[in-house]
Every structure is written in structure tokens, then in C-alpha cells.
Amino acid sequence: MRADGHDPAAGRKLPEQQVNPALASIAVGVVPHRAAGMASGINSTFRQVGVATGIAVFGTLLAARVGRRPLAQVPRAVFVSGLNEILVVSGVGALVAAVAALALIRARDFALPAAPPDLAQNQDHLDPSRIR
């Protein structure tokens, strides 16, 4: 964030801010409530592994185009070609993941919310004779 209060990265963060709550909600929503912590941990772990794997794959695609030359010595057309390949591969991967999510995540898979306790039957904590 700059001194004037403007955050130049704010526009880049917007898609992530929209996806993260929905992704976390789906991850914990398809398991029973007692397993929500485990589902959240697995979700976080797989997201980190996915980010690391994606960086490695995309870096390999770019390195295959530019070779062992320093980036400053790579012709612009070669760099753009490598970047284009990365964007095509990531776009196809996102499309495949979206289709898989639509096919695999069904509304009936979501766990039903736990029924709230019946407050009329559970008033022991309000009984003054139980206070010590």
C-alpha cells in the first residue's frame, strides 16, 4: 500500500477474495460438522500443493521456450510465445476443473446443518439451585 492509502494490488486481489469464501464453504459443507476442521485442513493443504505444482509446471513451460539464456537476452517473441503457452495451458486447466466441479459437486452431497438444541428442554444452566 502506498503512502496515499491506495493499494495497487487491490484489483488483483478481487478474484481471490470472491473465490476463497465459496471454496472454503464447499470444502466444509460436504462433510459432517464433526469433520469440518479436517476438511478445512485438507482444503488448505491441497490448495498450497496446487499452487506450488502450478508454478513448477508453468515455469517449466517457459523454460522450455527460453532455454538456458538469461531472461534479458531472450527475444521478446520467444518470451511472449512461452507466456502464451502458459496462459493457454492454465485456461484449459481451469475449464477442465470447472466442468469437473459442476459434474462432481451435487447439492445432495452437502451435509445438513445440525439441528439447534431444544432450548425449552435444556434450561439446566438457568436453574438457580445449580449455582454453587
Q: Which residue has the higher pLDDT, 5 or 126?
A: 5
Measure the CA–CA gap between 52 and 7, rounded to whole angstroms.
26
Q: Which residue has the higher pLDDT, 18 or 130?
A: 18
- 28-83: pLDDT as tens digits: 888 888 888 999 999 999 999 999 999 999 999 999 988 888 888 889 999 899 99
What pTM does this model have? 0.62
**Which domain, by its residues, includes 83?**
16-109
- 56 domain-assigned: yes
- 36 domain-assigned: yes
- 57 domain-assigned: yes
Residue among 69, 54, 62, 63 nearest 85 (CA): 62
For the chain, report the end-to-end CA distance as a whole number of angstroms: 54
- 72 domain-assigned: yes
- 124 domain-assigned: no
Per the structure, how many domains does the chain have? 1
- 85 domain-assigned: yes
Query: What is the rounded average pLDDT of the residues 119-130?
Result: 57
- Model pLDDT, residue 54: 93
Determine contact, residues 105/30, Cβ cutoff 8 Å: yes
Measure the CA–CA gap between 27 and 51, rounded to whole angstroms.
17
125 pLDDT band, cuts 50/70/90, is low
- 132 domain-assigned: no
- 32-46: pLDDT as tens digits: 888 889 999 999 999
- 63 domain-assigned: yes
Determine contact, residues 115/33, Cβ cutoff 8 Å: no
113 pLDDT band, cuts 50/70/90, is low
- Model pLDDT, residue 121: 58
Residue 119: pLDDT over 60: no
